[in-house]
């Protein structure tokens, strides 16, 4: 049920994608919106023009938030939970929401929501395809960036009719500031160390578990079976549907056979099972679930085939930004590998990366980025010495080509954030694909 925003005064932090979507939607619903950003007008030219088109004069350059007569403050996922602007709002008694909380209050259509450390985007995109195969008008939105899929959740919530369905990828940062957010079906795919630069391991896990916080007996919680022993699993009020690697082929056979899948890797079988369980819980028919699962080829930057020449395959897995995703990437590729990795390591044990390399059939590692020296040291400490350094991604791709033999796979699996050398992981993946295609043209 859409809540009434008419006459409300709402502050929105950040003029990025989700902030501007909040401003647009809430203004359309009759709210008075105040926009704040620490950047200057020269850094936000397009966003400022869009704000003024809505009749909003944004407060820029670190202007303090005015909490007087403010009904709520919607924060950007880029703002740390302990930021003074949010803590001041709490002290002033102003409710703080994330965009997904506002979206839930705006929505008329049911929401199916997915979180976890790894596999979110693949599971979200596949579940969206299952809903479409069932003939439902489907909005795939939230913390998802996969090619043309990049819709803020509040925009989907505003546009979706009651009979439609919203499939949402949800991050830990978005879950920090929820209040009533209650997805009809929610999934927690896994929890492994991530975002150590922003959240302690316990804060990160606690945020992830909040996806089930407001569910009731009529809802469904799809939960990785490895998390059933966590005391927080006992607090879930929804019907719990566990999934995991144990008997994965047998469980999948309720929906689709493993041989029908185009996705590679056991971790992707888990993603397919999670999506199928969510689809069934929502009432989607089995034939639609099977059809979508069998036809789904994955999303960009996730074990994405790029090219094959000289007997060598090239795979883009730029979305691999943490140690667990890295280990799963290597596990999914059975052939000998030349691995391009590095960037800004986000926290955790570097030895975890090194052990994953040592345990897999990795012929050589080409290191790039800020954390390359530390990763190299970790690899050397476990006895892995076949490392190389490159100053750019093109140079790394050239070197990987030279190191590879027929039958090998060259894979970009950074295990790190991208912001030292690239705009984001998508930019990194796109540059890798262009580097590979340049080599293919030369070949």
Q: How far is CA 108 from the centre of its chain?
A: 24
What is the DSSP secondary-structure string of 39-52? S-GGG-HHHHHHHH
| Mean pLDDT computed over 224-232 | 96
Strands (E) in 70-151, as ranges, are 72-75, 96-98, 111-115, 138-142
For tokens 């085939």, the residue is 305
Q: What are phi and psi of 369, to 5 degrees?
A: 85, 180
Taking the C-alpha atoms of residue 93 and residue 306, their distance in angstroms, rounded to an integer, is 52
Query: What pLDDT, on the 0 to 100 scale, is given for residue 150?
Result: 80
Cα–Cα distance measured from residue 29 to residue 23, given in angstroms and rounded to the nearest whole number: 10
Q: How many CB atoms lie within 10 A of CB 158?
A: 20
Give per-residue pLDDT as tens, 258-293. Answer: 999 999 889 999 999 999 999 999 999 999 999 999
169-204 tens-digit pLDDT: 999 999 999 999 999 999 999 998 665 567 788 999
Alpha carbon distances (Å) from 355 to 99, 177, 321? 38, 36, 16
Average pLDDT over residues 295-315: 93
CA angle 371, 372, 373 (to 5 degrees): 95
∠ CA 419-420-424, nearest 5°, is 25
Q: Please give the average per-residue pLDDT across 143-171, as a whole number.
A: 92
CA dihedral 114, 115, 118, 122 (to 10 degrees): 20
- At 411 the pLDDT is 98
User: To which H or E segment does residue 312 belong?
Assistant: strand 312-316
Check residue 74 and give its pLDDT.
98
Runs of H (alpha helix) within 78-184: 84-91, 99-106, 120-133, 153-159, 172-175
Q: Which of 7-16, 40-49, 322-331 has the lowest mean pLDDT?
A: 322-331
pLDDT at 431 over 60: yes
Contact 260, 295 (CB under 8 A): no
H or E stretch at 364: strand 362-368
> Whole-model pTM above 0.95?
no
Nearest to 265 by CA among 113, 119, 436: 119
pLDDT given at position 339: 98
How far is 406 from 282, CA to CA, in rounded Å?
46
What pLDDT, on a 0 to 100 scale, did the predictor assign at position 151?
Answer: 94
| Spatial contact of 18 and 99, defined as CB atoms under 8 Å apart | yes
């Amino acid at each position: 049920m859409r809540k009434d925003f008419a006459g409300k005064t709402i502050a929105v932090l950040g003029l990025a994608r989700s902030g501007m979507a909040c401003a647009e939607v809430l203004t359309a619903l009759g709210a008075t919106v105040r926009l704040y950003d620490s950047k200057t007008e020269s850094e936000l030219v397009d966003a400022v023009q869009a704000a003024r088109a809505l009749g909003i004069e944004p407060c820029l350059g670190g202007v303090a938030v005015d909490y007087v007569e403010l009904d709520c403050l919607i924060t950007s996922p880029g703002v740390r939970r302990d930021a003074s602007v949010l803590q001041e709002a709490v002290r002033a008694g102003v409710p703080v929401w994330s965009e997904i909380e506002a979206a839930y209050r705006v929505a008329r259509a049911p929401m199916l929501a997915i979180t976890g450390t790894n596999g979110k985007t693949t599971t979200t995109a596949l579940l969206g395809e299952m809903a479409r195969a069932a003939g439902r008008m489907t909005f795939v939105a939230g913390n998802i960036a996969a090619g043309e899929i990049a819709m803020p959740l509040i925009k989907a919530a505003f546009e979706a009719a009651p009979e439609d369905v919203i499939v949402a990828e949800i991050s830990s940062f978005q879950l920090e500031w929820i209040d009533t957010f209650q997805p009809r079906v929610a999934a927690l795919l896994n929890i492994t160390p991530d975002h150590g630069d922003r959240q302690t391991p316990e804060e990160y896990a606690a945020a992830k578990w909040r996806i089930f916080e407001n569910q009731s007996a009529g809802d469904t919680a799809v939960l990785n079976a490895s998390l059933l022993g966590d005391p927080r699993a006992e607090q879930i009020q929804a019907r719990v549907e566990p999934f995991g690697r144990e008997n994965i082929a047998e469980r999948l056979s309720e929906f689709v056979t493993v041989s029908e899948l185009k996705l590679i890797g056991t971790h992707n079988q888990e993603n397919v099972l999670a999506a199928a369980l969510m689809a069934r819980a929502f009432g989607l028919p089995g034939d639609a679930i099977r059809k979508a699962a069998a036809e789904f080829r994955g999303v960009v930057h996730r074990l994405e085939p790029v090219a094959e020449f000289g007997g060598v395959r090239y795979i883009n897995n730029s979305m691999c930004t943490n140690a667990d995703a890295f280990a799963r990437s290597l596990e999914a590729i059975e052939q000998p590998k030349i691995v391009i990795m590095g960037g800004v390591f986000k926290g955790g044990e570097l030895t975890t990366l090194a052990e994953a390399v040592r345990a897999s059939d990795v012929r050589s590692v080409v290191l790039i980025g800020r954390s390359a020296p530390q990763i190299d040291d970790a690899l050397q400490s476990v006895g892995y010495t076949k490392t190389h350094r490159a100053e750019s991604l093109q140079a790394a791709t050239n070197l990987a080509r030279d190191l590879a033999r027929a039958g090998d796979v060259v894979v970009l699996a950074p295990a790190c954030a991208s912001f030292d050398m690239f705009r984001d992981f998508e930019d990194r993946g796109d540059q890798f694909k262009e580097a590979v295609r340049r080599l293919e043209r030369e070949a």
